[in-house]
Structure 1
Amino acid sequence: MLKHLFLNRLLWAVTGLLALSAAGTGVLRPGIYDAVVSSELIPGAYSQDLLSVAAGLGLLYLSYAARPDRPKYQIVALGLLGYLFYAYGIYVIERTYNGLYLLYMAVFALSFWAMVTAGSTLDPALRTVSLPRAMRIASASGAVLQPLIFYPLWIVMLLPLMRTGEQIDSLYSIFILDLCFIMPGFLMLSFLTYRNHRTGLLLLPALYVLGFTLIFSLAVGELVKPLFGTVPSQAALLPALALSGLFLVLLILHLAQLRTERPAPESPTAAPSPYPRFTPNRPSS
């Protein structure tokens, strides 16, 4: 799937190691957010760090285990990179100026450039890619769900701000990342998958990895609220569990039915000689 796999694996390993360092510090010392994150958002930061620890460990493993004949490992790695780009994009854009801010910027930048490197090293001639038609339609339809939910939701929230000119103090990064990057990605890869294009078939499950980790972190954020003296909200927990579960099911089914085959090498044939073949006369008996 990817050419120059060593370079890609190296970027995954470095990104995963830095993310593990940043997120592990946040999990062990959640007080680093006290001065830079409002108290009601600290459970969300804690849950995001928990998921980022898992993503960092996953990237470290995939940087070791990925091989040219394991394209599904590479797909999952791209999804984890997308999650780290989003998660640390929030910290960077929201100006989380604690002692780890430069590390947040490093993870944000490395995850972005690792995805750019992967996109530029996709080998279009390496494999033929196929997905059963029913699964292709189901996967493409599932990918449209997130834009259908979040485009109207975020735009409705933005319109009053646009009328009044009010500048909110937190979570404005979600509007930027979702409306400018994530939702267009879902729409484009959904269309390409529906059209049976190899890029959509290969990269849409990576977006499902991203979608699952992002939405599941919201569910975890509700579950860890008692650790910070607040009460979980069922109205927030259940939709997050349902949507993350949907993305996980689509991811598993898409990868299970995805077929990538290396084209059989053509047997070399000798070029025809421009001269007539000479066959000596056999002596008569």
Structure 2
Amino acid sequence: MTEAKYDRLAAVLKKKKNIILQGAPGVGKTFAAKRLAYSVMGEKDDDRIEFVQFHQNYSYEDFMMGYKPVENGFELKYGIFYRFCQKAANHPDKDYFFIIDEINRGNMSKIFGELLMLIEADYRDKKATLAYNGLSFSVPKRLHIIGMMNTADRSLAMIDYALRRRFSFFDMEPGFDSEGFINYQNSFANETFNTLIERIKELNKEIDQDKSLGKGFCIGHSYFCNADDCTEEWMKDVVDFDILPMLSEYWFDENSKLQRWENILHGVFQ
């Protein structure tokens, strides 16, 4: 990510309080979310970061509060977001970050409930009465919510408009041309790796121009990161077990296109 792009992202997060990093698989959304939190804090303090992943069965009771079965009946238990808000409220001079992976995989209205109002930047520190315990509650001003959304998952509905208005959306794209990736690539000094990255960039152009796909389905750079050794076996594994299975989902009804790209990618190693 360029410095200018980071500055803009950090400024939007500080102003809006809630942001969603959206992009294709492998563009580094999770990596960026934690680094963004550290940079705004000015230090690496994991005690001020909470990380959750939404899924279809995730509920308000898990997130905020609800009655859970105990030995002699039911007891009101506080959820992860409620506890984290209390923690942040005890340190109003510090920034806290609540990171939600796969934010569009849960039923957003059901999970957030009356928080839909309280997470808005203008309503931070303003109290509202909670349905479960009748007590007043507010979301601290310096608590930031960072969501992550995979734009290539066609099984998921888009986020509803009520929640969409409360978040800013930041597109993350493959970083093959970024200074960081180029330096990483040059450190290998491997011609096969260079050729493979060129083919992936060509593949991304075709995905971007495909009317049924688009830039939200491009192949991310993180599939090719974090290798200690740039061996041919590792590169083949990435192609065969990460890239090609994804392309078979994208072009499940266009076998000739899938076969052409399978030949192109395997051709890198011949």
Give the TM-score of the pair, scaled to structure 1: 0.20
Instruction: Identify, as 1 or 2, the structure richer in strand.
Output: 2
Give the TM-score of the pair, scaled to structure 2: 0.21
Instruction: Identify, as 1 or 2, the structure richer in helix.
Output: 1
